[in-house]
């Protein structure tokens, strides 16, 4: 996955907003990001997700995966709240609140996907139908629209109860390390570090791992013949497809602000990707250890 500079840079030069030298500097920085961040193995070669997509995970593997993911999903709220608090502008604070409020159950104010009755309040909050677009401003809060509750419903089918999921104590050291790195780096009070981490997280999420997880879960569900709701994963896959396009616009916006610091940004990005990698490596080592035990 390589980042490409969009045409808007040329348009800005033509409009006299930036000089040719500034545009060239930005192009150079995008090359640096491609070299320093986009080549990270968690983006280019995620061994766990590759294995998972093949449908090889058994019931215990899937349960372990759901529990670890639920810890990440819940503790991510802490990092996101820090990001809100440490935002460098009102606009940034609002953008972070969109994510935080949506995570805890505020449905985006373009409620439902096409073709579904918006009056169907019984289903309001169901990830199969809630929108991936719009704003939480004016949106409706529903307990059951919390992303964590979507995971709880998945866990329920696999025999996992409320107190089996989502707590720090349920995380492996690798998962807990990842969550702590999120709070420290993604939630950093240093604007450049936090933005680098955010950029890294968005690119990781856009690299296609949701599709791999959906493929593996689909295979597992069919193999087991169980009614496992997958909408937590399909919903996130849908939203990432839209986010991917925004990453370059955001970088461009940021790059031309006075406070921007290339080194800090790259440092935040690199360290965050290492944190993300720790999470997946932990899952991969766990499934390999299990495979050895059962053979």
- Would you tell me which residues interact with Fe ion (CB under 5 A)? 147
Q: By C-beta, is 97 or 147 nearer to Fe ion?
A: 147
Nearer to Fe ion, 147 or 287 (CB): 147
Please, which residue, 13 or 104, has the CB nearer to Fe ion? 104
Runs of H (alpha helix) within the chain = 8-14, 20-36, 41-44, 47-53, 59-85, 90-104, 147-157, 173-181, 191-205, 209-224, 231-243, 246-255, 262-294
Closest CA to 230 of 103, 112, 127, 144: 127
3-state secondary structure of 141: strand
- Report in angstroms how near the CB of residue 13 gets to Fe ion at its nearest: 38
Identify which of 4, 143, 159, 150 has the alpha carbon closest to the alpha carbon of residue 70: 150
Residue nearest to Fe ion (CB): 147
Which of 88, 134 has the CB closer to Fe ion? Answer: 134
List the structure tokens of 106.
Answer: 């505020």
CB of 79 to Fe ion, least distance (A): 12
Q: Are 206 and 240 in contact (CB under 8 A)?
A: yes
**Interacting residues of 64 by C-beta distance below 8 A, sequence separation 6+:** 283, 286, 287
Least distance from Fe ion to the Cβ atom of residue 148, Å: 8
To Fe ion, the closest distance from the beta carbon of 251 in angstroms equals 22
In the complex with Fe ion, the residue whose CB is nearer, 12 or 170, is 170
In the complex, least distance from residue 133 CB atom to Fe ion, rounded to whole angstroms: 15
């Amino acid at each position: 996955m390589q980042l490409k500079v969009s045409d808007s840079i040329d348009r800005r030069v033509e409009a006299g907003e930036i000089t040719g030298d500034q545009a060239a500097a930005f192009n150079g920085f995008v090359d640096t990001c491609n070299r320093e961040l986009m080549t990270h193995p968690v983006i280019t070669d995620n061994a766990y997700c590759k294995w998972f997509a093949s449908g090889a995970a058994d019931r215990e593997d899937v349960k372990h995966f759901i529990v670890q993911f639920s810890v990440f999903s819940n503790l991510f709220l802490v990092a996101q709240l820090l990001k809100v608090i440490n935002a460098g502008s009102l606009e940034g604070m609002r953008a972070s609140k969109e994510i935080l409020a949506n995570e805890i159950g505020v449905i985006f104010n373009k409620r439902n996907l096409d073709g579904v009755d918006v009056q169907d309040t019984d289903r309001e909050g169901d990830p199969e139908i809630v929108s991936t677009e719009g704003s939480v401003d004016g949106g409706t809060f529903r307990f059951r629209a919390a992303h964590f509750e979507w995971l709880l419903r998945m866990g329920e089918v696999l025999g996992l109860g409320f107190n089996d999921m989502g707590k720090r104590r349920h995380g492996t050291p690798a998962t807990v390390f990842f969550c702590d790195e999120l709070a420290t780096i993604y939630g950093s009070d240093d604007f450049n570090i936090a933005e680098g981490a955010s950029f890294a997280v968005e690119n990781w999420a856009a690299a296609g791992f949701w599709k791999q997880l959906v493929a593996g879960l689909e295979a597992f569900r069919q193999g087991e013949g169980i009614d496992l709701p997958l909408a937590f994963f399909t919903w996130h896959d849908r939203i990432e497809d839209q986010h991917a396009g925004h990453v370059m616009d955001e970088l461009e916006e940021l790059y031309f602000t006075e406070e921007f610091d290339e080194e800090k940004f790259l440092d935040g990005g690199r360290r965050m990707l290492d944190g993300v990698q720790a999470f997946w490596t932990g899952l991969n080592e766990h499934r390999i250890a299990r495979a050895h035990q059962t053979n």
